Amino acid sequence: MSKIRIPKTTLEEWRAELSIWTGADAFRNRVDEIVRPLARETFFGQAGLAFLRDAWVAGRVATAFSCDLVRLSPTQRPDFEIQTDGLIQQFEATEADQDGRRRGDETDSSDPLPDPVERWRERFEAIPTALARVVAKKIEKQYPPGIGLVIYVNLGCYGAYVDEGLPILQSGTAAAKDKFSVVLVIWEGTIYKLWEGGRAVLGKWPLTRLEDDL
């Protein structure tokens, strides 16, 4: 069965809509409304959908920080902007995952395969290499001062190694501390602020909202 492709005109409409300043909750809700019906092989496999993944991150960051407004950047870089009390902060978003993984080749299933504990540990131990790879790529692009960096670490372990993992996240992103105004990591259902102004910090916000559980 061939995967469903979203028409280019629809993608352009979505991109334009998400590039307009919008309240944080409304933006996040709209992104979820667009993304949830999409099959995995479409969301990750069709070219031109990276902006939706950036928008998913932007919505989570904006609601976690209780921002007034959020939008995808209307220019090529950075990826998104948030606004609080008239102050705009720009962010680049990226994803850290196991090297060579192709999520577009993974299909949705109502009967998921077993996920033994050994795989949890394997994913956890892949985090340092995955972080080093994506951080190096972002540093190479030499962004102007004031840009923040958000890394979605797609190496979940069901919360089994959070205490062990936080120092690894901090050391794994240290190379970015002087290149970006703030460094955030999304991992295990939480947004972590690890670096700000070149200094180590530790702030955390849950990805979920009360209304998401209602």
pLDDT for 203 beyond 90 = yes
The confidence score (pLDDT) of residue 103 equals 52
Question: What are the pLDDT digits (tens) for 54-96?
Answer: 999 999 999 999 999 999 999 888 999 999 999 999 999 999 9
Q: What is the mean pLDDT of residues 14-42?
A: 96
pLDDT for 111 beyond 70 = no
Q: What is the pTM of this model?
A: 0.90
Percent residues over pLDDT 70 in the chain: 89
The residue ranges of every structural domain in the chain are: 7-73, 86-99+115-214
* Mean pLDDT of the chain, nearest integer: 90
The confidence score (pLDDT) of residue 1 equals 38
- Burial category of 132 from C-beta neighbours within 10 Å (exposed 0-12, middle 13-18, buried 19 and up): middle
The confidence score (pLDDT) of residue 172 equals 97
3: Cα within 13 Å, side-chain hemisphere:
17
Contact, 144 vs 110, CB < 8 A?
Answer: no
